[in-house]
Amino acid sequence: MGRLTEGRQGNPYPPHWVNWLLNRFSPVGLEDELQGDLLEMHTYWVKTVGPSRARWRYTLAVLRLIRPFTSSINKQSHNYSEHSTWQPAMIRNYLKIAWRNLLRYKAFSAINIVGLATGMAVAMLIGLWIYDELSFDRQPKESDHIAQVWQIVQFDGQKAAYNVASIPLAQELRSHYPDFDRLALATAEREAVLATGENRFTQTGRFVESDFLPMMSVRMRTGPIKNLTDVNTIVLSQSLSTKLFGSEDPLNHLVRLDNKVSLRVTGVYQDFPINSSFNTIHYLAPWPLFLRIDQGAKSARDNWDENSYQVFAQVKEGASLAQASAKIKDIRMKQENPPPYKPEFFLHPMTQWHLYSNFDNGVNTGGLIQVVWLFSLIGGFVLLLACINFMNLSTARSQQRAKEVGLRKVVGSLRGQLITQFLGETLLLTSLAFVVALGLVQLSLPFFNQLADKQITILWFNPYFWAIGVGFSLITGLIAASYPALYLSSFQPISVLKGSFSAGQQSSLPRKALVVFQFTVSVTLIIGTCIVLRQIDYAKNRPTGYSRQGLLEIPMRTPALMGHFDALRTDLLATGAIQEMAISNMSVTADKTGVTNVSWPGKSPDLHPLFMTNQVSHQFGRTIGWRVSAGRDFSTAFSRDSLAVVVNQSALKLMGLKDPLHSMIHWNGRDLPIVGIINDMIKDSPFGHVQPTLFVLYDASAGVLTLRLTPTMAISDALTKIAGIFQQYDPSTPFAYKFVDEEYRKKFSTEERIGKLATLFASLAIFISCLGMFGLASFMAEQRRKEIGIRKVLGATVLTLWALLAKDFVGLVLLGCVLASPIAWYFLHEWLQSYTYRTQISGWVFVLSGVGALSISMLTVSYQSIKAALMNPVNALKND
Amino acid sequence: MKRGFLGELEEVVLLTVAALQEGAYCASITQTIDQQMGRSISFPTVHTALQRLEEKGFVASQMGGATAERGGRQKRLFSVTAAGHRVLIESRQVRAQLWAQIPTPIQQLWGA
């Protein structure tokens, strides 16, 4: 490259091309000193490190100094080049013009900004919601190494997955499977009464093994993290500790649990965050205590098939959950006398608990993740609608500025400047919309949080949020501006200024396509919402098999109530507040205890179906009002009823007995005669099958009291009376009750939430679409002012003019409806498949949605067309 | 002009400007640092540091005499401003304070 040596004294000279670079590109005003300095440096380098490295360093130094943005000392003193797009005067002018345009077409600008802002706000809300859903259960440090042990069991060919395991299984995992770092047995969430002095609260919590705390990275406020080894201890959540002890330090104070044992508080932990599966856990009690105080736990200790507990595991660093999961699959089948339901164990990763919790026939079928997908799709589409609107209106509007473009060109604007101007103007609008959207989101968050049952906040400090928001505004702006910027700037000034310019057919075609697309999306959303709402209604109207009104449930936890059922009942009946009262093992709104060891005459030996069971007192049927379809209810008149069974219709159908009322079923080593058959009652999901169920008489294990209130007495009066009696029998427990119809309503909460959100989004979608159409209609009316004027002069009526303007849109909306129907049908058909008890998709939903969309859009358009048709033709024509 | 903190490199450059007095310009500063600190420092780095120091108001510059060894081109000569003096003294005080807090036996142990 450069010459190696030059100069008399054998002093090497720096390479020529580098000097040329330095000359050409060195920062303005610094050429002289830099060249001098570098020359000196070169001499110095030749002396110290030799000519070749000197050349190298010289080149590097020059390259680094000439980078285009090297700040120069005298930068401020330099003049702008003569033809800069960035002349402050020009920028001021652009801003002024943009501002004037904004103000002159107030309605237009408002529609444009509000429409885009609404779309952005919806997308933001949905984005925040999705962010919240995806952040579930990520709090533990090793959350991707943590899993819960589940099992897939087979009943009668059908597979079902449960998140329970047995105590020996945990021991086995601990002793024979080295993959696990930590392992913790835990009970399911359970309610307990925690009391200190006069303060008593019913709270949910768990009994856990001590590994649970470090595994879940429970954050201790006070107390060590390894503190659940002592039997009589407990750790409390911060909120519960405040409720019980106020601001006092709770450490080493005593708390009474279910009025059975006194426990020493050894720690307080920060409440689990709302986006944790443990967010309702307010106390953690030691596992050894559970083994000591729980009746069932004693027998469960060595019983492999007492699957009532939960096991959480953390695999070692480097081990994979999938491999560990494969290893434990047959852990039960390898033991002695494997059960007929052939359990296969697996690890359900913590990161999937929340979003992937549905299992169908033993295969994970997703769960909430589908809703996440659905909503991201909806959010994306609503945003797209808003963008399309924005582009549509911007391009439509831009034609009015053709003259401005012509004039600017005549005065000497370059094309580049015009492009910059239009881009800048649109970006200004999108940034405005972004700010408005942020405001809208902030305002609507409380409402949205209530609807979605969340505690979402705007991620003010999350760089990704800003990057996405700003990036999105930029992209929308760029796309929306590209058409006017590129198209308008290409006009021949002479044709524009002469007035012979008109936007041709080709420019309205894409706009029409966009309107069709908008209405396809909106109508799809409307149809979807209708069907979701109908499905909810359908399930709500499903007969429950008992009467929920005025039914009250009271859990019995403490020993005080256990032995006194009859006395309690007599006292309560005496107050007149209740009509009847019963005790049962399980709540009428839950379906949790199942058995497979039932047999009956004619049963094939390899069939092991799952029967749900409930133990009830004699009054149970009368209390809840179940309907006996054959035989009779339990009765005190028959002493042998203690060995009788009442079955529901589903159980009858499953067993296929010819003469059920004279048959016996065999269960737990006993033959039980069927005395009655009741209509199916919905206890579990109102969207699923009713499980075959057996009812037997109660034999005194912990349970639930069910009370039927006297309908003629005011509920508040009745409750006061009932509470009084309960306080007499069990003064240590706060009186807590649940209304059965409320519990039942909760079964719909997921679907209702989806329904409400879908309604919200569909209305916003149609709102945005109509906003866009409103703008377009007014634009078209404006464009055809003169035509309308002449038509009016020639005798056209308002009606014909209205039809003239409206017919353009009718076709587009209708086309949108036609396109939307198959799409909506396909998606909703898929969605409905996930429900066993589902409504039919009927044709009138489509027709009604189409008619609805059409009439709303007609209303929108009519306003503009009638306004245009009523105009005085003189005003339109007097200019020419 | 914004006044900021003094970075470590900036401090070295500023000290060198002060040490060289009249003869402080970019090349001489680079060479001095190179020789005296035994630390290889690139010319553009010093150049940038000087610009930054000037922006912060710790040095001032003026164009100075040309010499033959630089092809007859002018130099930009730097001198430390009052603010520069202040910041240098401050930084020395901070260091002295911290040194004083190290117990004497330990300093002796280090041979300091």
Confidence of residue A559 (pLDDT cuts 50, 70, 90): low
Q: What are phi and psi of A461, to 5 degrees?
A: -110, 15
Q: What is the pLDDT of residues A735-763, one digit of tens each?
A: 888 899 888 988 888 888 888 888 888 88
Q: Which of B28, B48, B74 sits opposite A32 (nearest CB)?
A: B74
Domain boundaries, chain B: 8-104
Residue A784 makes CB contacts below 8 A (sequence gap 6+) with A805, A868
Which of chain B's residues have a Cβ under 8 Å away from the Cβ of A61?
42-44
Q: Do A73 and B63 touch (CB under 8 A)?
A: no
Domain boundaries, chain A: 16-77, 87-136+363-503, 143-353, 511-537+746-880, 551-745
Spatial distance between the Cα atoms of A825 and A690, rounded to a whole number of angstroms: 28
Q: What is the pLDDT of residues A590-632, one digit of tens each?
A: 887 778 788 888 888 777 788 888 888 888 888 998 989 888 8
CA A372 to chain centre: 5
Would an 8 Å CB–CB cutoff place B44 in contact with chain A? yes
Q: What is the 3-state secondary structure (H, E, C) of A570-588?
A: HHHHHHCCEEEEEEECCCC
Residue A157 makes CB contacts below 8 A (sequence gap 6+) with none
Confidence of residue A506 (pLDDT cuts 50, 70, 90): low
Predicted confidence at residue A285, as pLDDT, reads: 92
Confidence of residue A78 (pLDDT cuts 50, 70, 90): very low
Residues paired with A673 in a beta bridge:
A664
For A309-342, b/e burial (b = at least 16 CB within 10 A) is bbbbbbbeeebebeebbebbbebbeeeeeebebb
Closest chain A residue by Cα to residue B54: A73
pLDDT at A460 over 90: no
Q: Do B31 and A44 touch (CB under 8 A)?
A: yes
Looking at residues A794-802, what average pLDDT do you find? 88
Instruction: Report which of A860, A875, A866 is spatially closest to residue A111, judged by C-alpha positions.
Output: A860
Spatial distance between the Cα atoms of A668 and A396, rounded to a whole number of angstroms: 79
Spatial distance between the Cα atoms of A254 and A261, rounded to a whole number of angstroms: 10
> Using an 8 Å Cβ cutoff, are A307 and A165 in contact?
yes
> Using an 8 Å Cβ cutoff, are B46 and B13 in contact?
yes
Of A341-345, A355-359, A876-880, the one with minimum mean pLDDT is A876-880
Helix (H, G, I), strand (E, B) or coil at A416: helix
Residue A633 makes CB contacts below 8 A (sequence gap 6+) with A621, A622, A626, A646, A676
Spatial distance between the Cα atoms of A330 and A345, rounded to a whole number of angstroms: 7
Predicted confidence at residue A21, as pLDDT, reads: 79
Q: What are phi and psi of A578, to 5 degrees?
A: -125, 155
Q: What are phi and psi of A195, to 5 degrees?
A: -135, 140
> For A246, how many CA atoms within 13 A lie in the half-sphere containing its CB?
4
Predicted confidence at residue A75, as pLDDT, reads: 45
Interface of A with B in 17-46 (CB under 8 A): 32-41, 43-44
Quick one: A24 exposed, middle or buried, by C-beta within 10 A (0-12, 13-18, 19+)? exposed
Looking at residues A170-180, what average pLDDT do you find? 88
Confidence of residue A678 (pLDDT cuts 50, 70, 90): very high
Spatial distance between the Cα atoms of A347 and A319, rounded to a whole number of angstroms: 13
Q: What are phi and psi of A453, to 5 degrees?
A: 55, 55
> Using an 8 Å Cβ cutoff, are A552 and A737 in contact?
yes
How many other β-carbons are positioned within 10 Å of the β-carbon of residue A557? 22
For A791-817, b/e burial (b = at least 16 CB within 10 A) is bbeeebeeeebbebbbebbeebbbbbb
Predicted confidence at residue A81, as pLDDT, reads: 44
Which of chain A's residues have a Cβ under 8 Å away from the Cβ of B75?
33, 36-37
How many other β-carbons are positioned within 10 Å of the β-carbon of residue A450? 10
Question: What single letter denotes the amino acid at residue A860?
Answer: T
Q: Quickly name the fold that domain B8-104 has.
A: Arc Repressor Mutant, subunit A (1.10.10)
Predicted confidence at residue A444, as pLDDT, reads: 92
Question: What is the rounded (10 degree) CA torsion for A152, A154, A159, A165?
Answer: -20
Q: Which of A40, A48, A72 sits opposite B27 (nearest CB)?
A: A40
Predicted confidence at residue A206, as pLDDT, reads: 93
Spatial distance between the Cα atoms of A234 and A289, rounded to a whole number of angstroms: 10
Helix (H, G, I), strand (E, B) or coil at B108: helix
Confidence of residue B73 (pLDDT cuts 50, 70, 90): confident
Spatial distance between the Cα atoms of A124 and A466, rounded to a whole number of angstroms: 11
Q: Which of A463-477, A718-732, A757-771, A810-824 is predicted most confidently?
A: A810-824
Spatial distance between the Cα atoms of A206 and A191, rounded to a whole number of angstroms: 9
Here the contacts of A409-418 (C-beta below 8 Å, separation 24 or greater) are: A409/A491, A409/A493, A410/A493, A410/A497, A414/A83, A414/A85, A415/A489, A415/A490, A416/A85, A417/A85, A417/A90, A418/A485, A418/A488, A418/A489
Residue A102 makes CB contacts below 8 A (sequence gap 6+) with A109, A429
CA A311 to chain centre: 27
Looking at residues A98-123, what average pLDDT do you find? 87
CA A299 to chain centre: 41
Q: Do A33 and B25 touch (CB under 8 A)?
A: yes
> Using an 8 Å Cβ cutoff, are A798 and A862 in contact?
no
Predicted confidence at residue A11, as pLDDT, reads: 57
More confident: A167 or A875? A167
Would an 8 Å CB–CB cutoff place A71 in contact with chain B? yes
Which of chain A's residues have a Cβ under 8 Å away from the Cβ of B30?
41
> Using an 8 Å Cβ cutoff, are A425 and A98 in contact?
yes
More confident: A66 or A832? A832
Which of chain A's residues have a Cβ under 8 Å away from the Cβ of B66?
36
Looking at residues A261-290, what average pLDDT do you find? 90
> Using an 8 Å Cβ cutoff, are A807 and A777 in contact?
no
Q: What is the 3-state secondary structure (H, E, C) of A496-523?
A: HHHCCCCCCHHHHHHHHHHHHHHHHHHH
Which of chain B's residues have a Cβ under 8 Å away from the Cβ of A60?
42
Write down the mean pLDDT value for chain A. Answer: 84
Say which residue the tokens 């049962």 belong to. Answer: A584
> Using an 8 Å Cβ cutoff, are A183 and A146 in contact?
no
Q: Do B43 and A35 touch (CB under 8 A)?
A: no
Residue of A11, A28, A32, A58 to mutate for B, most B C-beta atoms under 10 A: A32
Confidence of residue B4 (pLDDT cuts 50, 70, 90): low
Closest chain A residue by Cα to residue B70: A36
Distances (CA, A) of A671 to A205, A494, A601: 39, 103, 11
> Using an 8 Å Cβ cutoff, are A297 and A291 in contact?
yes
Predicted confidence at residue A1, as pLDDT, reads: 37
Say which residue the tokens 């700037």 belong to. Answer: A489
Q: At A410, list the tokens.
A: 């005549």
Confidence of residue A307 (pLDDT cuts 50, 70, 90): confident
Would an 8 Å CB–CB cutoff place B20 in contact with chain A? no
Helix (H, G, I), strand (E, B) or coil at A537: helix
> Where are any strands of DSSP class E within A792-864?
none
Q: What are phi and psi of A591, to 5 degrees?
A: -135, 85
pLDDT at A701 over 80: no
Spatial distance between the Cα atoms of A634 and A765, rounded to a whole number of angstroms: 56
End-to-end C-alpha distance for chain B, whole angstroms: 40
Instruction: Please state, for a pLDDT cut of 90, what percent of chain A lies above it.
Output: 11
Confidence of residue B2 (pLDDT cuts 50, 70, 90): very low
Q: At A795, list the tokens.
A: 């005798």
Instruction: Please report the DSSP string for A212-251 in residue order.
Output: HHHHTT--EEES-SS---STTEEEEEHHHHHHHHTTS--T
Of A503-507, A623-627, A723-727, A772-776, the one with minimum mean pLDDT is A503-507
A774's enclosing H/E stretch is: helix A749-783
Q: Which of A36, A39, A64 sits opposite B74 (nearest CB)?
A: A36
